[in-house]
């Protein structure tokens, strides 16, 4: 993108960033006094931009938050501000009368933001518009009261939007599932986890259902409880065989004729304490 934009653009963005920095400093001091926060670490955040959906529906948004909680949200239809609490009412009243600023925000969100979004998508289409298929893996672990927690791990997908649900006998159990959110993987793709508790004594077919725009059809991965027992059974058999071998060796050494303390090794071969 840097090669396709006039250098003057970056000078202007630097100037805007410095203005934002000064605004954030002043606003943070104001909010600390407003909420009587004289000590500790505090954060003010602003998010604004626009969404362009596949059906060409455009959405613009602006929102301020303080210490992780909503503070003010801009309603571009009425060109007024929505206060999240009593403390925000003071700022709301002051900003509502700034008609010129509110008109500029409405114009930016509805007219200026979308062309910038489209041009950014064009500049970075090889990365931003690519589609990477997800992979899914299901696992289980024992939980409380004899229940079992099923986990569906989905990795390596792009873009970010994805739908992951657990199905019981083909029916969605969305209300019974817990998601840990969608997180970046560090390689330009995303990952997520979806969990659900079940009673293993109730016979049912469970599967992880994944929908993503990179898939021609949904991805489905079934949970197979019998397959999950194979490593456990194999481990038990291996342990039994090893115990049997150890017991056999002990019996053989005990019954071996002519055996003296301190003389090891197999018959016919010199051991560390056996003269050659």
pLDDT tens digits in sequence order for the chain, 276 residues long: 556 667 787 888 899 999 999 999 999 999 999 899 988 899 999 999 998 777 777 789 999 999 989 999 999 999 999 999 999 999 999 999 999 999 999 999 998 998 888 888 888 888 878 899 999 999 999 988 889 999 999 999 999 999 999 999 999 988 888 888 999 998 999 999 999 999 988 899 999 999 999 999 999 999 988 644 444 444 444 555 455 555 554 454 555 454 333 333 323 323 333 333
Q: Which residue carries 């979308």 as its tokens?
A: 114
Fold of 135-225: Immunoglobulin-like (2.60.40)
Report the 10 Å Cβ neighbour count for 46: 14
**252, exposed or middle or buried, with CB in 10 Å at 0-12, 13-18, 19+?**
exposed
pLDDT reported for residue 198: 92
CATH of domain 2-128: 3.30.500.10
Domain pair 2-128 / 135-225, same fold? no
Query: Please, are residues 106 and 76 in contact by the beta-carbon 8 Å criterion?
Result: yes
d(CA 35, CA 71): 12
pLDDT reported for residue 176: 86
d(CA 43, CA 1): 31
pLDDT reported for residue 59: 87
- What pTM was estimated for this model as a whole? 0.53
Query: Please, are residues 138 and 223 in contact by the beta-carbon 8 Å criterion?
Result: yes
pLDDT reported for residue 273: 33
The domain spans of the chain are: 2-128, 135-225
pLDDT reported for residue 129: 80
Q: Using alpha carbons, select from 39, 105, 36, 25 the residue that is nearest to residue 72.
A: 105
What kind and span of H or E run contains 236?
helix 225-255
Which of 202-233 are b and which e, b meaning 16 or more Cβ less than 10 Å from the residue's Cβ?
A: eeeebbbbbebeeeeeebebebeeeeeeeeee
pLDDT reported for residue 120: 83
pLDDT reported for residue 248: 54
pLDDT reported for residue 247: 54
């Amino acid at each position: 993108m840097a090669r396709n934009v006039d250098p003057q653009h970056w000078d202007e963005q630097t100037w805007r960033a410095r203005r934002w920095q000064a605004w954030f400093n002043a606003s943070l001091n104001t909010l600390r006094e407003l909420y009587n926060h004289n000590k500790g670490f505090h954060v003010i955040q602003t998010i604004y931009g626009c969404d362009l959906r596949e059906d060409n529906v455009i959405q613009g948004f602006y929102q301020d938050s303080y210490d992780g909680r909503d503070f003010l949200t801009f309603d571009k239809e009425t060109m007024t501000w929505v206060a999240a609490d009593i403390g925000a009412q003071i700022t709301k009243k002051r900003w509502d009368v700034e008609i010129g600023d509110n008109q500029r925000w409405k114009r930016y969100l509805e007219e200026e933001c979308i062309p910038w979004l489209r041009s950014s998508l064009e500049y970075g289409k090889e990365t931003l518009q690519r589609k990477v298929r997800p992979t899914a893996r299901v696992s289980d672990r024992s939980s409380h009261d004899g229940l079992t927690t099923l986990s569906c791990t989905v990795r390596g997908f792009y873009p970010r939007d994805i739908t992951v649900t657990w199905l019981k006998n083909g029916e969605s159990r969305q209300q019974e599932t817990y998601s840990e959110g969608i997180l970046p993987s560090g390689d330009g793709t995303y990952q997520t986890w979806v969990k659900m508790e079940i009673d293993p004594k109730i016979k049912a077919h469970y599967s992880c259902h994944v929908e993503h725009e990179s898939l021609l059809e949904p991805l489905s991965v079934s949970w197979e409880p019998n397959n999950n027992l194979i490593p456990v059974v194999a481990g038990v058999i291996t342990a039994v065989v090893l115990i049997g071998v150890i017991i056999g060796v002990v019996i053989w050494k005990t019954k071996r004729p002519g055996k003296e303390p301190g003389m090891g090794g197999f018959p016919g071969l010199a051991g560390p304490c056996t003269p050659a």
